[in-house]
């Protein structure tokens, strides 16, 4: 009998993946966690039935959530990752020997445990000596702190359930406060294509723009996420991702990446008109 995993991208659009073997199912205080082996995408992690990470396209997401900011400011020493339980973002950050401290604040310890056991392709660097793991709510973690981190990466789920608080004005303001003067905030900023995701994109972008002097969005192709066209937010106090970007400097690091390069860095900020209009008119 064939087994298929199906995700509703909209009420009228479904995305199906043929399952080879189910490996794990667990229920935490926050969400349902599933890990399965698939024919096309290798191992897959879903939370509450929604695609989070898979072996075949995770490199795209983790390259783009990490290297754009790291290439904009080569002096990033202290990094805060909020969410990111699969470990892929920490894996990419840990490739920079210049980084001294990586604090990862993941609300759900069971996600991290599942990743360490079943997703070593993303979880391989969670035991790096620079990594401090906190199993706490990221919304609370940034409250009352001032000028600690050079980079905050919000590698979150969608703005539903535990992830909702990570898309609020108060959270973005606390992120602003906890960043140093050249601090950068990168956040999972949804997608412009389907209405529901586009609404969340516009809402989040409007809030971030009201707090940070520099606020841009950049795009990446994510085959297994709804519509495949997804965006990250780039917000900062001083550094601009294009004007302050030095391609020669990043290329001199000699980091080998499967998706990111210094041309994609520039191209990712060249948005289609309908997206420009969407975020300009918000």
What count of other Cβ atoms lies within 10 Å of the Cβ of residue 62? 26
Phi first, then psi, for residue 198 (nearest 5°) are -65, -40
| 105 or 131: CB nearest ligand SAM | 105
Contacts of 76 (CB under 8 A, 6+ apart): 69, 70, 96, 98, 99, 150, 151, 184
Residue 163 binds to ligand SAM (criterion: CB under 6 A): yes
Residue 92 binds to ligand SAM (criterion: CB under 6 A): no
Can you tell me which of 92, 103, 137, 150 binds ligand SAM, judged by CB under 6 A?
Answer: 137
Phi first, then psi, for residue 76 (nearest 5°) are -70, 125
Can you tell me which of 17, 35, 52, 201 binds ligand SAM, judged by CB under 6 A?
Answer: 52
In the chain, how long is the greatest CA-to-CA distance?
58
- Which residue of the set 155, 158, 246, 263 is catalytic? 155
Q: List the beta bridge partners of residue 47.
A: 33, 50
- H or E segment to which residue 112 belongs: helix 109-118
- The structure tokens listed for 76 are 């990033």
Question: Within 102-121, which residues bind ligand SAM (CB under 6 A)?
Answer: 105-108, 111
Residue 228 binds to ligand SAM (criterion: CB under 6 A): no
Can you tell me which of 60, 84, 207, 233 binds ligand SAM, judged by CB under 6 A?
Answer: 84
Number of residues that bind ligand SAM (CB under 6 A): 26
The answer to whether 139 touches 49, Cβ cutoff 8 Å, is: no
Can you tell me which of 94, 157, 205, 224 binds ligand SAM, judged by CB under 6 A?
Answer: 157
Rg, the chain, Cα only: 18
Residue 150 binds to ligand SAM (criterion: CB under 6 A): no
CA 129 to the chain's CA centroid: 22
49: left (phi over 0), alpha (psi -120 to 50) or beta: left
Active site residue 282: no
The answer to whether 143 touches 82, Cβ cutoff 8 Å, is: no
| 83 or 241: CB nearest ligand SAM | 83
| 141 or 269: CB nearest ligand SAM | 141
Residue 82 binds to ligand SAM (criterion: CB under 6 A): yes
Question: In the complex, what is the shortest distance from the CB of residue 211 to ligand SAM, in angstroms, rounded to a whole number?
Answer: 18
Catalytic site positions: 155
- Chain residues that interact with ligand SAM, rule: CB under 6 A: 30, 47, 52-53, 61, 82-86, 105-108, 111, 137-139, 155-157, 162-163, 165-166, 188
């Amino acid at each position: 009998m064939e087994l298929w995993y199906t995700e509703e991208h909209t009420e009228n659009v479904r995305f199906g993946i043929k399952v080879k073997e189910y490996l794990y199912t667990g229920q935490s205080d926050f969400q349902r966690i599933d890990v399965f082996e698939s024919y096309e995408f290798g191992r897959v992690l879903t939370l509450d039935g929604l695609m989070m990470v898979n072996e075949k396209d995770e490199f795209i997401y983790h390259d783009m959530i990490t290297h754009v900011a790291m290439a904009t400011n080569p002096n990033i020493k202290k990094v805060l990752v909020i969410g990111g339980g699969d470990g892929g973002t920490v894996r990419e950050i840990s490739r920079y020997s210049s980084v001294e401290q990586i604090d990862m604040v993941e609300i759900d310890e069971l996600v991290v445990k599942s990743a360490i056991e079943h997703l070593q392709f993303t979880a391989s660097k969670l035991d790096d000596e620079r990594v401090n793991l906190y199993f706490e709510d990221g919304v609370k973690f940034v409250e009352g702190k001032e000028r600690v981190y050079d980079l905050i990466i919000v590698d979150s789920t969608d703005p539903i359930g535990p992830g909702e608080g990570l898309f609020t004005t108060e959270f973005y303001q606390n992120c602003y406060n906890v960043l140093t003067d050249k601090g950068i905030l990168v956040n999972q900023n949804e997608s412009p294509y389907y209405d529901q995701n586009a609404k969340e994109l516009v809402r989040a972008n409007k809030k971030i723009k009201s707090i940070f002097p520099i606020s841009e969005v950049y795009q990446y192709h994510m085959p297994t996420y709804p519509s495949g066209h997804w965006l990250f937010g780039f917000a900062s106090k001083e550094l601009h991702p294009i004007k302050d970007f030095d391609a020669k400097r990043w290329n001199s690091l000699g980091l080998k990446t499967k998706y990111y390069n210094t041309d994609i860095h520039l191209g990712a900020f060249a948005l289609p008109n309908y997206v420009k209009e969407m975020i300009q008119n918000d």
